[in-house]
Structure 1
């Protein structure tokens, strides 16, 4: 797939950026436990490097960062990215790989206890129920068995569907869209806070959404998002927003593409694939961002959209495009991009770029971290 020369360039850059990142983390916020901008994100990066390279030294480093993360949990948010479910899920997996089953089980128990959700919790990925759900699935995937009972996962899904139906009724959306979700009084569309991210999960097989609900409730809601598309092929950040500006994983085509790919897999309708291919064109035209090289709103995050399409279609064009975006990342810091608030973190900074470059070494296994299943 990749030439030995390009693979070598990726490996060299990963090593070089890791050293830079380690130096930079010395001045990072010591009390940020999160996967998004804190220690759990760095632990997740090293866990990923261990999976890619098989070097036990990476697992040990993951273990060190994971302990830092567990020592300063938020005690308020419950999600994988911005709450305590992330540190606990990552810790459960690292302890498991270190054969420390007792501590692994302890983390899983604590993760399940977070389920006593505040009924006012939102539904989206960063702060809501879907972000808790991802943590449960993450544990099961890494263990290769049902550590978290299916019934527990199904309960969370059912709560998300009920919440979406209730809001759609209260706001008179039901005829257009049987489900509706809001975050801070806005109907967000994208992957991070919005509809596309939620529907991506509701369409996953094995999460307990019935065939009837899938076809009668989820599908028309997905179709409602599809018709929000701008002529450019991009999507608005919120439902009534007419500005076609943002091409990020968090807002716009690079996040919506996952919903479209999943809809195509589940329902088989060509239109979903066409829309996904159009997202890829938007990313190719506008996806190298001044905001930087990161995952949430940066070039690495946008490149994952190409990898999702490559893995769906096996069309080499998309692998090539992902490699071209990686090439941009190989000149990290040389384009005059904005420096993020947390310059070495997983979702805003350098750790996320390293994660992507390592994923590109085995592109058929690449998945957008903390989101894609």
Structure 2
């Protein structure tokens, strides 16, 4: 198969004048809304709320979706309700907040649900954690979130015991994916945002070590267990880009240098092979080589910050 990326000809590192770091302002959403000019900030805020209403109408209101349609990115309830509730909070609209939060709390997960991020339990769990992070702990009860974690861990262990060497394994449409969209990386990332039991944490770490041991010699990762010989995909969905973020999260949560080193190795793959020839989707092919993804890696590393990672992050944004 022909290469799916353009060669990266940008210089690897160009020293620049040091800039003083500004004081942090709360969480990411608050920082986004805290623009230098208040009128511009308010304009962006109003535009975001208008866009949210359009998405709600087009994907939920017109099609009359039911409460059971909860999937995070591609469904019309969990993601829409979670984002709507948080947006309403920052807009100071309690009525709208209740409008979105009430149906979210009524969601019932089906038994045949997959565990992956885009369509499954991990996505719903992430939406729960997002609400608790912005609206306060207990907005979605720990009983609810723990039940989802238990089910994900149970399913992962059951499939892992069927062979392959990984304590946890998950399946989506018959494929045992590794990446962020449908596989190990996305599910594990969300699990690490919860309070794991000691044995669960060990299974998560051992699964990541399994992935690191079985990556390609060049540092990229297979798309799935069934696709261990094809080193082609360097996307957020499959390959090093999505897995890099999970490894950074693991280094932050567990404090293990091996995960940090593996994250840096994955970032090198994104740097060298991340300029994709096909990048037509907002959340798919090519997404990881732009925006805030390299900054996520840099922020996760902590001091001392490798200067070349900062430089690469700036070039990616440009």
* Fold equivalence (TM over 0.5): yes
Deviates more, 1:182-191 or 1:262-271: 262-271
The separation in 2 between residues aligned to 1:223 and 1:70, in whole angstroms, is 41
Shift in Å, 1:136: 1.2
The separation in 2 between residues aligned to 1:150 and 1:291, in whole angstroms, is 41
5+ residue gaps, structure 2: 1-14, 19-28
Per-residue CA distance 1:161-213 (angstroms, 9 max, x = gap):
111122223x334xx22211000100001011110111122223xx2321232
Q: Identify if the C-alpha distance between structure 1 residues 305 and 218 changes in structure 2 by more than 3 Å, giving closer, same or farther.
A: same
The separation in 1 between residues aligned to 2:276 and 2:30, in whole angstroms, is 27
Match of 1:50 in 2: 33
The separation in 2 between residues aligned to 1:213 and 1:270, in whole angstroms, is 20
Shift in Å, 1:317: 1.7
The separation in 2 between residues aligned to 1:325 and 1:214, in whole angstroms, is 33
The separation in 1 between residues aligned to 2:30 and 2:281, in whole angstroms, is 18
How big is the alpha-carbon RMSD for the aligned residues of Structure 1 and Structure 2?
2.7
TM score, norm. by length of structure 1: 0.68
Q: Identify if the C-alpha distance between structure 1 residues 299 and 179 changes in structure 2 by more than 3 Å, giving closer, same or farther.
A: closer
User: What secondary structure, in the 3-state scheme, does the structure 1 residue paired with 2:205 have?
Assistant: helix
Asked if the contact 1:47/1:94 (under 8 Å) is kept, the reply is no
Q: Identify if the C-alpha distance between structure 1 residues 105 and 325 changes in structure 2 by more than 3 Å, giving closer, same or farther.
A: same
TM score, norm. by length of structure 2: 0.79
Q: Identify if the C-alpha distance between structure 1 residues 293 and 317 changes in structure 2 by more than 3 Å, giving closer, same or farther.
A: farther
User: What secondary structure, in the 3-state scheme, does the structure 2 residue paired with 1:236 have?
Assistant: coil
| TM alignment of 1:164-313, pairs within 5 A | 164-169=156-161, 171-173=162-164, 176-204=165-193, 207-215=194-202, 217-241=203-227, 242-292=229-279, 295-303=282-290, 304-313=292-301
Shift in Å, 1:81: 1.1
Shift in Å, 1:246: 0.8
Per-residue CA distance 1:297-352 (angstroms, 9 max, x = gap):
3444234442122112332321211111222xxxxxxxxxxxxxxxxxxxxxxxxx
Q: Identify if the C-alpha distance between structure 1 residues 326 and 243 changes in structure 2 by more than 3 Å, giving closer, same or farther.
A: same
* 2:48 counterpart (56, 62, 65): 62
Deviates more, 1:57-66 or 1:119-128: 57-66
Match of 1:103 in 2: 96
* 2:310 counterpart (319, 329, 341): 319
The separation in 2 between residues aligned to 1:295 and 1:255, in whole angstroms, is 14
Asked if the contact 2:236/2:287 (under 8 Å) is kept, the reply is no
